[in-house]
Each structure stands twice: as C-alpha cells, then as structure tokens.
Amino acid sequence: MPDSATQEIILGSFAGSLGKLIEYPFDTIKVKLQSKQYSNTLLCFKLTWKLEGLIGFYRGLTPPLLGASLENACLFYVYNAVQDALKKHIYVMNPSVDFQDQEQYEVPLLGKMVAGATSGVCASFILTPVELIKCNMQVLVSLLTAASQYKPNIFKVIKDVYRREGIAGYWRGQFPTLLREMGGTAIWFGSYEMVSGSFRRYRSQQVERTSSSTPVFDLLVSGASAGVGYNVCLYPVDTIKSNMQINKGDKGNATMKGTIRQIYQESGVRGFYRGLGITVVRCIPANAVIFFTYNKCKEAWFGRS
C-alpha cells in the first residue's frame, strides 16, 4: 500500500476525474434512455445535439466530476486499506507462515472482491446525492417545452430537491445505489485483478522481459474489462436508481418497489436494460483510463504499481 493515505487519495481522485470527463457525454445519453425520453440511442443523440448543442452532453458535469474525484479516492483508499487489514489478519491467524515481506503477500481474489465490495458501500453514500443532481440536470432540458425560458442550473436543482424533500431527498435512491456499488465494485476490482493477474503470469514466462513496469496494453485491457463487468452485471439496478432519482416523488412510485413495477409495466424486462449499449461503449475507454492513470502515477510516485 502507498506510503501515505493522502497520496493514495490524490491518485484515485485524479484518475476518477479523467475517467468522468471521457464518459460523461455517453452517460447523458444513457440517463435519457433510462428515463424513456427517447426510443433509441441515435434519436437521443440527434435531438440532444439539435436542442441543446454540445453543452447538452455535458450538462450537470460539475457534481459528477467532483463526485468521481471523491468516489475513486474513496474506492482505491478503502480497497487498499481493507487488503492491508486482511493481510494482517492472515498473518496473525497463521503465525507459521513466513512473510519475509508482508507487503508482497498477495490477497486471494475473493479477499480482493470483499475489499472491493466494502469500498463500494462506502462510496455509495458519496455517490447518491451527486448522481441525483446529475440525473435531474441531464434530463431537465429535454422535459421542458421549446418555448420555455427556464434555464436550469445546479443550484436550482439542489434548491428544488431541498424544498420538496428536505435533506433526506438528496439520498433518494440510496438503497439501489448501495446495492449497485457493493456488487458492482466487487466485480470491478475482481475483474481487473483477474485479467491483470493473467497478464502478469503470461509476462512472467517471457524471460527476455527486463522492465518491472506494467505494460500499457495490460493496464488498458484490464481496466476496460473491469468497466464492462461492473456495468453489465448491475445495469438493471442502475436503471432503477436513475428512475427513482428523476422521479419527483409526487406520483407514488418513487420507492424502489414502485419504480420496478412501473418500469416492468411500461417496458417489460427490456426496460431494465434500456441504454445498456451506450453504457458499455462509454465504460471501456473511461475505465481503461482510470486504471491506467492510477497505476502509472503510482509507479512514478512510489516506484511500483
């Protein structure tokens, strides 16, 4: 683990911010599709460009950019902290094991997934209010009439949520967010570790390799695999979360159970996967950049990945 918690947080924050800048336009399309404003991705893209221009794809960017910075700082910090705790536990429970260098001990994949799930639970409390504001900003313009002179901004959305629901309103959708992050982050880190581990075993057989630095290709593919695993496995939960957060809470279906019933009645099982294609497209470059940036900065800072 890095020598300083502060340095670990900085690395995660920087990597998360870069990933969010790459994925955000795709995320805007995804949320609009999940909220059933458009019937398909191409139509959503065309009308967003026509009605809102380039800024429409980045509307509401500030909260999720800050959120991504905080989220990834929390994810990587807690992930490594839990692994350290597991190493110490294993060492205490197995005194006969000779750890010449405890830092080099490899936590089993299941342990890494537990660490990932724990980090996801912690991050969910940061993500819920951020994503609620983001989702409402992303769909707000499309729900307005062309003649409307209302100019949405983050402060108006924040004020509106507080006026209608108080402080608790910012955590509407917390439970599905927690479920998504707990399971999704376990898969996210698990997929990364599994793929990167395969690469390490393959590279170790190449006797001519002299550099200890992790190859760029390995990091990009491992990161992209993590993103695909996270999004594909937990996508229905994300759809439920987005619809709960966009719902104004005045239709009686802002609960998780009511939202599931509404989505199923309107679109069937397919409704839970609306926007999945654009989500997979967006997550590949974004997560490749997150893990590449984090690991390469870590190598430069600490001399190891």
Model confidence over 182-194: pLDDT tens digits? 999 999 999 999 9
Over residues 248-274, the mean pLDDT reads 81
| Residue of higher predicted confidence among 112 and 28 | 112
Residue 146 has pLDDT above 50, yes or no: no
Q: What pLDDT score does 228 carry?
A: 96
- Stronger pLDDT, 255 or 234, i.e. the higher one: 234
* Per-residue model confidence (pLDDT) at position 273: 93
C-alpha neighbours within 13 Å on the C-beta side of residue 120: 24
What pTM was estimated for this model as a whole?
0.82
Question: What does the pLDDT read at residue 303?
Answer: 60
Which residues are CB-contacts of 94 (< 8 A; sequence separation ≥ 6)? none
Calculated CA dihedral for residues 285, 131, 141, 169, nearest 10 degrees: 170
Q: What is the mean pLDDT of residues 122-133?
A: 92
Nearest to 41 by CA among 55, 57, 54: 57
Distance CA 235, CA 23 (A): 16
Q: Output the CA–CA distances (angstroms, integers) from residue 126 to 82, 142, 182, 237, in the order listed.
A: 19, 27, 13, 17
Q: Which residue has the higher pLDDT, 207 or 26?
A: 26
Res 209: pLDDT: 56
Average pLDDT over residues 288-296: 95
Cα–Cα distance measured from residue 290 to residue 198, given in angstroms and rounded to the nearest whole number: 19
Q: Does domain 5-236+275-302 have CATH number 1.50.40?
A: yes
User: What are the domain boundaries of the chain?
Assistant: 5-236+275-302
Query: Among 24-28, 204-208, 232-236, 250-254, which is the least confidently predicted range?
Result: 250-254
